[in-house]
Amino acid sequence: MTQPGGQYAAPEPDPGEFAVKDCALIAIATGLRAVTLGDLQDHLRVVALESLYYHFWGGLLQQRFEPREYNNDFAEWARHALHYAPLAERLAVLDPTDHPDLGDLRRELLDRVEESLYESEDLGWMHAIRPFEFIRCQTVVFDTDRRIRGPDELADVIPALPPSSLFYHFIDARRREPLGVDDFRAWLQGWGPDRQALIDRLSGVDPYEGGLNELRASLVAAFTGGEGA
C-alpha cells in the first residue's frame, strides 16, 4: 500500500486470530487433611502437584466480600486457622510464576514451613482451629468458536468475557509452556512494537489482587490506557 508522499507503510503484522477459550474446574478431595503444621509439612511432601495449583490459583474463582488478604490458601490457613502470622507472611509472598515448575514451588513451600518449625517447637503439635483440606482439580478446556481478529476487537470483548474465560487466558496461561505469560500478552507480541505500551500495561496487572471482577476492571483499564492500568 502506498501512503501519501509515496512512502510504503510496513505491512500490518499478522499473528493470526485469537481463539477465545473457556474452562470449567471441578474440585476433587485428596483425602489429606492437616490439623497441625507438622501435618501440613507431611502432606506437602506427597500431595499431587495439581493440588498446589488449586490452592494458589483456584481461590481466585471463589466469591469474596473483602479484598483477598493472602494470595494462596496456605498463607490464609497459617494466619486464620493456625494463628501464626510470620509463616502466613512468608507464604503470602510466594508467586508460582517465579518458579520453573510446581515441583520447585513445593520445595519452596516446604522450606518456609520448616523454617517456622525450627523457630517454634510448639508449632509442630499446635492444633489449628480448622483443618487444611488438600484439594486438587480437573480442568476442562473448550473452544467457544469465537475468534478475534485484532487488538481493538480484543479490547471490545474483554468487558463481557466470562470470569472462567478470563481465568483461562490471564491466569491459567501463566503455567503453560513455553512462554509462561498470559495469552493476551503472548498474542499482542505478534502485533509489533506499536502494541508494546499495551503489553507493558498488561504486565502491570496483578492477577492476585482482588477477584476476577476486579481483574476484569484492571484489564479494561489497561486496554483503554486509563487509571488503574
Please give the Cα distance from 20 to 158 (Å, whole number): 10
Judge if the upstream peptide bond of residue 159 is cis by omega within 30 degrees of 0. Answer: no
DSSP code of 130? S
Q: In DSSP terms, which residues pair with 19 in a beta bridge?
A: 147
Which of the ranges 19-27, 36-44, 86-94, 121-129 carries the binding residues for other proteins, by CB under 8 A? 19-27
Q: What is the phi/psi pair of residue 29, to 5°?
A: -70, 140
Region near other proteins per CB under 8 A, out of 7-15, 79-87, 94-102, 133-141: 133-141
Look-up of cell digits 510448639: 122
Coil, strand or helix at 112: helix
Q: Which of 12, 13, 17, 29 binds other proteins (CB under 8 A)?
A: 29
Question: Could you tell me which residues are beta bridge partners of residue 180?
Answer: none
Which one of 12, 13, 14, 24 is in contact with other proteins (CB under 8 A)?
24
46 forms part of the interface with other proteins (CB under 8 A): no
Q: Which of 32, 15, 61 is nearest to 188 (CA)?
A: 15
State the Cα–Cα distance between residues 172 and 166, nearest whole angstrom: 9
Q: Which residue, chain included where needed, has cell 509442630?
A: 124
Cα separation of 69 and 77, whole Å? 11
Of 138 and 203, nearer to other proteins (C-beta) is: 138
CB of 25 to other proteins, least distance (A): 8
Q: Of 8-16, 100-108, 114-122, 129-137, which segment contacts other proteins by CB under 8 A?
A: 129-137
Task: Give the residue, chosen from 35, 81, 110, 135, that forms a contact with other proteins under the rule CB under 8 A.
Answer: 135
Q: Which grid cell is 16?
A: 493470526
- How many residues make contact with other proteins (CB under 8 A)? 26
Could you say which residues in the range 52-111 bind other proteins, by CB under 8 A? 63, 65
Residues 144, 147, 180, 196: which binds other proteins (CB under 8 A)? Answer: 144
Select from 10-18, 71-79, 84-92, 136-144 the region that touches other proteins (CB under 8 A). 136-144
Q: Provide the minimum distance between the beta carbon of 23 and other proteins in the complex, in angstroms, as a whole number.
A: 9
Q: Interface with other proteins by CB under 8 A: which residues?
A: 22, 24-29, 31, 50, 63, 65, 131, 133, 135-144, 160, 162, 164
